Structures are given as structure tokens and as C-alpha cells.
Structure 1
Amino acid sequence: MTRLRSYVLAMSAALMLGAATLPATSIPAFAKGPESVADLAEGLMPSVVNISSSQRSKSGGPEAVPMPKLPDGSPFQDYFDEFFKNREDGEQDSGPQTAQSLGSGFVVDSAKGLIVTNNHVIADADDIEVNFSDGSKLKADLVGTDTKTDIALLKVNPGAKTLKAVKFGDSNKMRVGDWVMAIGNPFGLGGTVTVGIVSARNRDINSGPYDDFLQTDAAINRGNSGGPLFNMDGEVIGINTAIISPSGGSIGIGFSIPSQIAQGVVAQLGEFGETRRGWLGVRIQPVTDEIAESLGMKGAKGALVAGTINGGPIKDGTIQAGDVIIKFDGRDIDEMRDLPRIVAESPVGKEVEIVIVRKGVEQTVKVTLGRLEDGEKLDEGSAADDTQKPAQKPAEATTVLGMTVGDLDDAAREKFGIGKDVVGVVVTEVKPDSVAAERGVVVGEVITEIAQESVKTPKEVAERISKLKQQGRKNALLMLASKNGELRFVTMRMD
């Protein structure tokens, strides 16, 4: 026993000595969370506000509720009879009803009295009231809104009251795991502080065209909408906007509009009362692995141009359907959804360099951006396609890849309602369970290109598919046009 005890003590001493002599870098150093955010929260509280908005309906609530149909002998019949009789007799208030909405916001300009919140907090409001942490209240006017990013800018007249503004930080510098703090008005409980980390970046929750949310586990609940998400320097790096929650309460998955997007929108709303976004005027779709292989690209990246908008910035075929945009104004386009956001952040009228892949070859083109808001007024159904030419004399119909295709003559145009500007070969039949059906091809669509070469007859369709098979290609890239000329690309297996 003595020898065993001596051995254990000797081994313990050796281990302690060994640990003491190890270099410090060999032991992982884990950064501790903030011991307290009390000072930070105390300094930021005056800048965060609670927002109460109300909407006056023109008709009373009870008058809009019909008498429910109850089964014969229902025990509730007497109660409902009495309620609706009283309503008809005028005992119920039939005057205008008021709907209340609660949210959060923060001061960004103390001199001008500018306050940022979410658009959905004040949407359709007749009255907006801002409540400060010291108990004071001010009426607010709407400066401007942006539904695409769900941002609104309000203005108050502070009078003798001194406002304290916060500034935006750089959301691009935020890393997954960085500490953040939210202050807001959850469930009407003003001045609530929660702390967490950035859980993820670049989240797309399908709420708008420019989704690029920061995800956080800092508790965000109903009423936090429009409130700020701070970094540990007290800078706003996000606007709390949405949560995922089956119960309606926080489960640790909240989303914030990054300051990279919000700052530009707020600046435009403050200057113009509206947004003025850059616009390229192209229709795009994702580059899948199959499309990348069909285009001779090394990997799936970028945004595939499915068409251009007539009257838009693209002129003289600078960018064409089938091009893949991989870089815009010096910024890489890794996914399709990157392009609309980056273009929208660019100034209207700026000339930008765009790197495209056209038929397997990279090239750089220059385009002067238009304004998105003007582009939205154009006919979205129109498309410019310089590769389309007048159709030639029709040939016989043929079947390929599960489709029967025929000539796009006057009879076919009338039968399927195809516009005069659409040129190619019409799909007259799609076999169930075929590769064409699997890719969503429908009768009446028009094949305009195969492997980026135009086709005008069914014979050319068959020949082109046969040629691709001889080249050892596994997939065929088809450009299809809808009845009104809107283009899209699909890949079809040829095995």
C-alpha cells in the first residue's frame, strides 16, 4: 500500500511538472463571455424606443360578424340569440374600432429626430407614438418605408427633449460566435435586454428578394420587431425582424437585417423618402451542377441569365440569355441570390464591370445601371433575345426526351396562345414520367435553344440532341420560352 501510494504521488507530481512545462499555446484558450453588459445596456437604453401604432377601422367589429349557424337544440342557441338581438338593438358599440400594434425602434439622428423600425410595425397605421425609456412620449410621422427589406423611417419633433442616437456598425465584421445584445419591447414589456451570439450568417428565410439575415440566439419575441441588435461596442449591426417559433415565443432562432443592408436603405429613406436601387434588368435563375456541366463550367456558381428586360440597361446584346454572371463590380457572385442584393446596393447610373461566362469563355462587359423602381414599371412579360430570328419553313414533328415537338406556325401560335415574338419549336405533347415531365416542361412551351444554339425546326432539335450524345454529354441544356416570351433554362438527362 505504501509503495502504491508513493507511486501515485510520484506520477501526480510528474504530470503536474509536465503540464507546467508545456508551452502556453498548446492549451486551448477559450474566450469568456461578457461578465456583465450592465454598463453597455444602461448607456444604450435611452436610444431604444417602444413604438405603438394604431389603425382606425371604418366599421365596427361586431357588425361585421354574422350570426353563426348552430345545430338544432344547441345549448348555446339562447346565448347567441341574446347577443345578436342586443347588437341589433344598438346595445353594442358599432363605432369605429382601433387596432393596436406594438414594436421597437431606435434613434439614428438626434438632431433630426429620425427613428428606425420595421415596416410591418407601422404598416397602414393612422397614428404612431414613440415611447422613450424615461417615460416620455412623442407623436411620430412616417418619412418613408421599404417593403422589400421591411424597414421604415420615422420622424419626431423632440422639442425641448434631448435625444440620444446610436450609430450603425459593420455587420460584415460579425463572426459566428460573436456576442450580441438585443434591446426592445417584447410583449409590450419595454426596456428588455437579452444577450446571445451570432448563430449564423447569410440566412435566406424567403421573406424578400434581399434576404441575408444574421441569425441570433439572443431572445427575440413579438414586440422586439424593429429593435436594434448591438455588438459589444454598442453599435447597431442588425435590426431584429423575425423569429421561428411554433409557440409564438423565443426558441433561440431570431433574425436581424444586417446593418450592411439597413444602413443604405435608411440613408435613402432619409434623403428621398423612398429607395433608389440599382437595376441591371436581367432575369436570372440558379446555376445547378447539371447546368454548369452543360455550359462547360468547372463548378456551379454565379447567376444564369434567362433573359433581359426590354427598355432596361442591357443594350446591344452586352449580356445575353445563357450568360452566367460570376462577378459584379469586383464582387464575386457565388449564388444566384447574391446578384439582386449586390446590384440593389449599387448607385443608380453607375457604370460597372461585370464578368460573365459565355459559351465557356470568361469575358468582361460594362453596363450603366438603371433604377429598379423605374424598371418595375416596365412590362415584366417582355424579354429581349437577340439570338431569335424569324422562323423558317416548318418541318415534320418529332419526339425527343419524352417530348413531341412541332413547328411553331400560325396554327400552333393560335392553338397555344403563343406571342408573335416567340421563336423556336413548340412542345405539343409531354409523356408522363419522362425526363421532360420531371423537369416541369408543359405543352405550349417553346424550345428556343439547345446547348446555347438556336433551334427553329423539330429536325434541328433531334440533330442537336444526337450531336450532344455523340460528344459524350450527359445532360442537354434547353432554353424554353413561355407563351409570352419569358425564358428559363432546364437541363435534361440524355441517358
Structure 2
Amino acid sequence: MRLVLAALLLSLLALGQRLVSPEEVARSQVIQRALPAVVRVQGSPTAPGENQVVGTGFFVSPFRVVTNYHVVQGLTELTVRLTDGRTFPAERFAVDPGIDLALLTVRGLQAPRVLAFSKTPSTSLPLGMGVVVVGFPFGQGPLASYGILSGIGPLEVPSPDPSVGAEVGEYLFTDAPLTVGNSGSPLLNLQGEVIGVVADVIGGPSGVGGIGVAIPADLVAQSVQDLERFGIPQRGWLGASLVSLDELPPVLLRAVGLTTAQGAMVDRVDPGSPAARAGLRGAQRDAQGRLLALGDVILAVNGKAVKDKAEVVRLIARYRPGDRVRLTLWREGRRLEVTLTMVARPASR
């Protein structure tokens, strides 16, 4: 016990701050260690007249920076700025829009520090644990904020771009103050490990009636491995466009014997995809795109009932190439089951 107290006192003195609790010491140490690894990400939009876009990123290896896909989407002349003010050119190495992730290569620099991902599954993280965010809100900083892990679950708020982040099943939520420019910031535990990557703030700046949203680290770490090895993510994909049943006229549903509006209709099937190989049938439409006949309706994925197309995408994304996934369908007035085998995505996706 005396050794522990002595170590604590030395830590307090080394920090040169009037910190009075072990949590304050841990929090300060996490911030100090993270600062050299966090960078400001900046680029120029391709559309004329728009201002430069600023976000945050962090080193995960000596030459690689993780940030959000939406931060660098459509940008040119990418740069990263370190906390000491030095600026270096960067380029997109690979992107994963499905979970809103981008991996950048930084030239002319070996990272002064890298951040490690937590190996604790996101579902095992305790609510109420302390979390730290280090980033560049409004391009200012680096600045740190602190809060708790407020919740874990799906994002119910519609995204302005449904194609970005559509494959994140569950997000981490925090009350740590966040705002514009924090996108791509690391969400850290008090051991200095990355437990998530900040993606959004819903309902206003977090801490002022808003909620911070982060992509879980286990999903990010898996994607980074895939991007480094294959250049594309290796999560499961259906290979079909879907329409939620609640977007369809009820009269069409009743005509095929469906009494529920929960599920997703297969609209179009991509050739060679898992959906095509399993024999899924798409909808029939006329030359003007009007719906003539329903396609297969997905009611459940591996026995879990689905409410809409977004849930189908999120559930399928949990699987990897080679995994077998059972779909419960409604086809021509009857229920049936088919099994898909996940395959690697084509490079164009």
C-alpha cells in the first residue's frame, strides 16, 4: 500500500497539477500520452467555392492514420497536422464507407506515437466508465474532453447519407463534449486504449443537449486489418438492394398474404453476389420503375426478426467470407428458408 501511495504522489508531482484523485491522474496521463498520436486532418473540397474541411485522426501504425470516411470524402490535397504544428501530406490508402472509416498514409514522417485498440469487445464495456476524447473541434486544438460511456446500441436517427455507416450494428454513445471537427477523434478508456472512433454528434453539441456517437473499436480494428491486407472490408454483404416494407403500399403486402410491415423486400439482385447464388428473387418493375410484383421479403436473419432494410444490412455485416447465413423469406404467399454463403466483396464496392 505504501508503494502504491508513493507512486501516486510521484505521479501527481510529475504532472505538476493539483490533481487530487487517482482518476484525475489517470485521465491526465491518458491525454498526455495520446496527444502526439492525434492529428488534425484537412483537405480541399473538389466543388469550387467551398471552405476547407477539418476533422481529426490518429496514428495506428508508424505511417497510417485512421479517420472517418465522411471527413475525407470528396477532398483533395489532404494534410495532417501534428500537435507540435508540423504539417505533412497525406493520401487515402483505403476506405470503408460501410462503417464510415478511412485509412490514410502519411508521407515524410514516422509517427511519434501510435494508439492501440482495446481488445475488450464493445458489448462488454461497462456503462458509466470514464472516457476521454482528444481532437480538433472547429479545427482548434488539440483539445480534450471527458465524460462517461452513456450507452451502446443502434443509431435510430436517420443519417444524411444512408450509404455511410450503414453497416455499424451498434454504436457507442457518450456525454463527452464533442462538436464539428471531432469526427475521427479517438474515444479512449482510462488505460489509454481506443474503444471507439467518434463519428457524429446528434441533437446538438454533446454536453449541451447532444449525444456523441462513436464506432466501436473492435469493428474499426477488424476493418483496419482488412484494409491493410485486402484493400477492402471483408464483412458480410448481401449483394442486393432492399426496400423496407413500411415504404411499400399496404395493399401490395396484403395481396401476397403479408400482415406485417416489418421486414425488407429484395428489389434488385447483383449478379454473382451471395444473394444471387442463393437464388433470391428481386422485384418486377416496368420501364418507368413502377413496382409490378414484390421480390422476396426478408423476415429474419439467422432466426432474428428484422424490422427494416437497415437492420438486414447490419446483421449481415457481422459475418465474414465463408460464413453461412440463414434467411427467412416470404415468397409467393408462403414462408421459406434459404442459406447464403458469404464471399469476399468485389474490389469495386
TM-score, normalization: structure 1? 0.51
User: How many Å separate the matches in 1 of 2:216 and 2:328?
Assistant: 28
CA contact (8 A) 1:116 1:226 kept: yes
User: How many Å separate the matches in 1 of 2:150 and 2:206?
Assistant: 20
The correspondence of residues 30-429 of structure 1 with structure 2, limited to 5 A, is 34-36=23-25, 37-55=27-45, 99-110=51-62, 113-159=63-109, 161-169=110-118, 170-201=121-152, 202-207=154-159, 208=162, 209-211=166-168, 212-245=170-203, 250-282=208-240, 283=242, 285=244, 303-306=263-266, 309=269, 311=271, 312-314=273-275, 321-322=296-297, 324-327=299-302, 332=304, 335-336=307-308, 337-348=310-321, 350-354=322-326, 356=328, 365-370=338-343
CA contact (8 A) 2:245 2:262 kept: yes
CA contact (8 A) 1:281 1:375 kept: no
The one-letter code of the counterpart of 2:244 is Q
User: How many Å separate the matches in 2 of 1:176 and 1:146?
Assistant: 28
Q: 1:322 to 1:51 in 2, by over 3 A?
A: closer
1:190 Cα deviation after fit: 1.5
User: How many Å separate the matches in 2 of 1:56 and 1:304?
Assistant: 36
The one-letter code of the counterpart of 1:206 is P
**Residue aligned with 2:91, SS:** strand
1:281 Cα deviation after fit: 3.7
Task: Give the gaps of 5 or more residues in structure 2.
Answer: 1-20, 282-295
Which residue does 1:80 correspond to in 2? none
User: How many Å separate the matches in 1 of 2:299 and 2:274?
Assistant: 17
Can you list the C-alpha shifts for 1:346-371, whole angstroms capped at 9, x where unaligned? 334x2404153769999764322245
The one-letter code of the counterpart of 2:117 is F
Larger radius of gyration: 1
1:51 Cα deviation after fit: 1.8
Which residue does 1:6 correspond to in 2? none
Q: 1:124 to 1:364 in 2, by over 3 A?
A: closer
The one-letter code of the counterpart of 1:309 is V
CA contact (8 A) 2:173 2:214 kept: yes
CA contact (8 A) 1:355 1:365 kept: yes
Can you list the C-alpha shifts for 1:101-153, whole angstroms capped at 9, x where unaligned? 2211111112xx00011223223332222122233332212212233432211
1:373 Cα deviation after fit: 5.1
CA contact (8 A) 2:329 2:338 kept: no
1:308 Cα deviation after fit: 6.4
User: How many Å separate the matches in 2 of 1:310 and 1:103?
Assistant: 35
Q: 1:116 to 1:230 in 2, by over 3 A?
A: same
CA contact (8 A) 1:305 1:325 kept: no
User: How many Å separate the matches in 1 of 2:302 and 2:261?
Assistant: 10
CA contact (8 A) 1:264 1:345 kept: no
Can you list the C-alpha shifts for 1:134-179, whole angstroms capped at 9, x where unaligned? 33332212212233432211111354x5531112223222243222
CA RMSD of aligned residues (A): 3.9
Q: 1:152 to 1:307 in 2, by over 3 A?
A: closer
Task: Give the gaps of 5 or more residues in structure 1.
Answer: 1-31, 62-97, 377-495
TM-score, normalization: structure 2? 0.69
CA contact (8 A) 1:107 1:166 kept: yes
CA contact (8 A) 2:46 2:74 kept: no
User: How many Å separate the matches in 2 of 1:267 and 1:317?
Assistant: 28
1:184 Cα deviation after fit: 0.4
**Residue aligned with 2:66, SS:** strand
Q: 1:366 to 1:215 in 2, by over 3 A?
A: same
Can you list the C-alpha shifts for 1:297-320, whole angstroms capped at 9, x where unaligned? xxx898455466263434687667
1:269 Cα deviation after fit: 2.8
Q: 1:351 to 1:147 in 2, by over 3 A?
A: closer
**Residue aligned with 2:51, SS:** strand
1:222 Cα deviation after fit: 1.3
**Residue aligned with 1:165, SS:** coil
**Percent identity of equivalent pairs:** 27
User: How many Å separate the matches in 2 of 1:181 and 1:247?
Assistant: 16
The one-letter code of the counterpart of 1:210 is E
Count of aligned pairs: 295
Q: 1:124 to 1:358 in 2, by over 3 A?
A: closer
User: How many Å separate the matches in 2 of 1:157 and 1:323?
Assistant: 46
**Residue aligned with 1:256, SS:** strand
User: How many Å separate the matches in 1 of 2:205 and 2:323?
Assistant: 49
1:38 Cα deviation after fit: 0.8
Q: 1:259 to 1:249 in 2, by over 3 A?
A: same
